[in-house]
Amino acid sequence: MTTQPGVAVRVTAVRILDAVLHRGRSLRAELGDALPALDDPRDRALVETLCFTVLRQSGRYAAALSAWMPKPPGRRDGLLRTLLYVGFAQLDPLRLPAHAAVAATVEAARSLGRAHQAGLVNALLRRAQREGLPAGDTAGDWPGWLRDRIRADWPGQADAVFAASMEEPPLWLRVNRRQGTREDYLARLHAAGIEAEPAPHAADALRLPGSMPVAVLPGFDSGAVSVQDLSAQCVADLIAPAPGMRVLDACAAPGGKTAHLLEREPALRMTALDVDARRLGRIRDTLQRLQLDDGVRLLAADGTDTAAWWDGEPFDTILLDAPCSATGIIRRQPDVRLHRRESDIQALVALQARLLDALWTTLAPGGALVYATCSILKDENQRQIEAFLARTPDAVAEPLPAHLGHADGPGRQRLPGEGDGDGFYYARLVRARLTA
């Protein structure tokens, strides 16, 4: 491979994106395999930025190629298409110095064995530099079935959902109140030259305008702060943890919400359950960094199989952050749009219903179950909870505060980008004490 500066970064990004776009690979898995080979943290950051930008903007870039080429490259010439996408991303929206971006991408074509296409790459990138990229259709690269579902569920907000899913999200931090106040940590950020502002309806949340390595955040290694989106942080308010309360986090990995509840109230009797034993290790790591690992019960088990893990003592509160389509976090996981299939939704809805029914039997009378997803589909949210209420006579939905989003049947729905948060659904269900 050439030693020209920046070429290795472009080659790495192209290989990752080619695997994600054309071979069905997970972005997270590909980044996890490739980034350790890059020694410079600035190179790793640029690879990540290029990959996320291309996946958010891929529909727009495809439209540009269709407009400029009589026969744009398809899946059979995926490397060329990906090279061009990486070049476009550098010019718009990243606005890297054009001469260096074009030169490094053309050289990357040669390093990838595409020397015969280097002239074509150079010509198209020069055109993009000269004319700018067409605006494109923000919904153009969504699968038709998903685009139709979102338009049917949110006819007045669908275009805003598609547009928000193309944008880079802000960086949300959660301040560990066991190590200091939000105001104290805000002052530490400002002293370090990092711009931030508090959220109005999330007591521990600070918003930074863009991403940055966590290593530069003061006190991150010692647990002063964590990265967690605004919408996820709002769940703790619905739990309202109190001393001695027995709490179950039923789909707990990677452990952010478990940790937040313990930061709010250290005297909880907390059980963190997850079906994936490997992901349970991430919860353990999270709690150790935050110095919260004392007394937390970690269980690797299927939440629907209560006979396998429940000890018979009812929980006062249960958090079910259910497995879902992740359609509310596409700006953070843009490959979801590529890999999600319509058949997945039916399977997820069935799993969510089984979890609700099983976990409800472990809830104490008078206790509450908080249901949450990072989906924006009504089948997983409004209609799921309405169906649960219809078949569960001792379940009552409580009204939720308006700042959580749109009133949506028994719960509230925040759509992507609203309040600068992820798309998220919330419902709080109380188990009534039935009388004879």
Binding-site members for S-adenosyl-L-methionine are 251-257, 274, 302, 321
**Nearest to residue 151, comparing CAs of 139, 167, 169?**
139
Query: Within a 13 Å sphere around the CA of 191, how many CA atoms are in the beta-carbon half?
Result: 8
Per the annotation, binding residues are 251-257, 274, 302, 321
* Type of residue at 269: R
171-175 vs 225-227, strand pairing mode: antiparallel
Task: State yes or no: cis peptide before 5, omega within 30 of 0.
Answer: no
- Vertex 249 angle, CA 274 and 329, to 5°: 80
d(CA 299, CA 281): 10
**Nearest to residue 103, comparing CAs of 125, 82, 85?**
125
Paired residues of 319 in beta bridges: 249, 370
d(CA 270, CA 291): 15
Task: State yes or no: cis peptide before 97, omega within 30 of 0.
Answer: no
| Residue 51 is among the residues annotated as catalytic for this protein | no
For residues 94 and 48, the answer to whether their CB atoms sit within 8 Å is: no
d(CA 415, CA 154): 9
Please give the positions annotated as active site: 374
